[in-house]
Amino acid sequence: MSSQDVLLLKNRSVPEDKYQRKFASSSQYRPQFIPLLSHESYNKQATIAYLNSENFANIGVFVITSQRGVEILAECLQEITDEEIQQTIFNKIAYTVGPATYEQLKDIGFKNVRGGNNAGNGQILSELMIAELVDDEELQDRRIVTFFTGEIHRDIIPNNLISAGFEVDKKIIYSTKVRDDVLDNFTSFVTDNTENGWVVLFSPQGTEHIVKYIQTNKVRFKIAVIGPTTETYLNNHGIIPTVVSPKPDAESLYSIISNYDRFN
């Protein structure tokens, strides 16, 4: 069987992308990337100052939900030269969504990371946090939670925490914009590659022009999506994905794609 392209509509994670590693481990697939978004620090010096501040030193818990957010946080932490401050930060409780950000936080040095596989979205994560922290009397500062996020974000987590009696200190640490070359890169790829393959959508963000292209053009590629939000987004545009990954991780995506190809 000839190998198929798997076009991942996402920015490649650094230093390693687990989706690339998983699909490249099989001779059946050739993982490719089309980055959709560009990210940059949002007032990096202000973020570094906050990480160094007494206010943050007194907070025991923070939330960060995106891989890009973790990458920006890691960049800022590298600017902190005081080892005692660094270790204080790494000892804080870190809550996150999904396995990828969980592993990233562990890799850069955080010792108490929660959520991850047990929290596939913000609603589940906030429920987990409330269950674990609402009756915790050991540290009163756990009633104050820092929420590291981007300019564009949903407020499910902070709203749920506030409703449960927490104080949320929201810190915007990165900005995001859709790249100008997304559609050109996508159309060039699907035009140049005549064999059937897969297009994988991870979220609606940044895919608007690609979805319009798929609506109006015959695309040979099968479509896989991560999660119900992206599935609903495509359905609302008249597109039925070929498969929907049950979990937001490389193993689940690979399994559902490879099983489809095995029996179809």
Whether the per-residue pLDDT at 117 is higher than 90: the answer is: no
Whether the predicted pLDDT of 107 surpasses 60: yes
E-strand ranges in the chain read: 4-9, 29-33, 37-41, 61-64, 93-97, 112-116, 144-150, 167-178, 198-201, 222-226, 243-245
pLDDT of residue 139: 54
- Whether residue 140 is predicted with pLDDT greater than 70 in this model: the reply is no
Most confident of 2-16, 108-122, 137-151, 182-196: 108-122
| Fold exhibited by the domain 39-177 | Rossmann fold (3.40.50)
Q: What is the mean pLDDT of residues 8-28?
A: 90
Residue pair 105/89 in contact by the 8 Å Cβ criterion: no
| pLDDT tens string 149-172 | 998 788 899 999 999 999 999 999
pLDDT for 118: 84
CATH of 4-36+180-263, one of 1.20.1300.10, 3.40.50.10090, 3.30.70.141, 3.30.390.50: 3.40.50.10090
**Phi, psi dihedral angles at 25 (to 5 degrees):** -75, -10
Q: Do domains 4-36+180-263 and 39-177 have the same CATH topology?
A: yes
The Cα–Cα gap between 30 and 50 comes to: 42
- pLDDT tens, residue by residue, 70-91: 999 999 999 999 999 999 999 9
Determine the Cα–Cα distance for residues 198 and 36; give it in Å rounded to an integer: 17
Q: Where are the domains of the chain?
A: 4-36+180-263, 39-177
Mean pLDDT of 131-152: 80
Q: What percent of the chain has pLDDT over 70?
A: 96
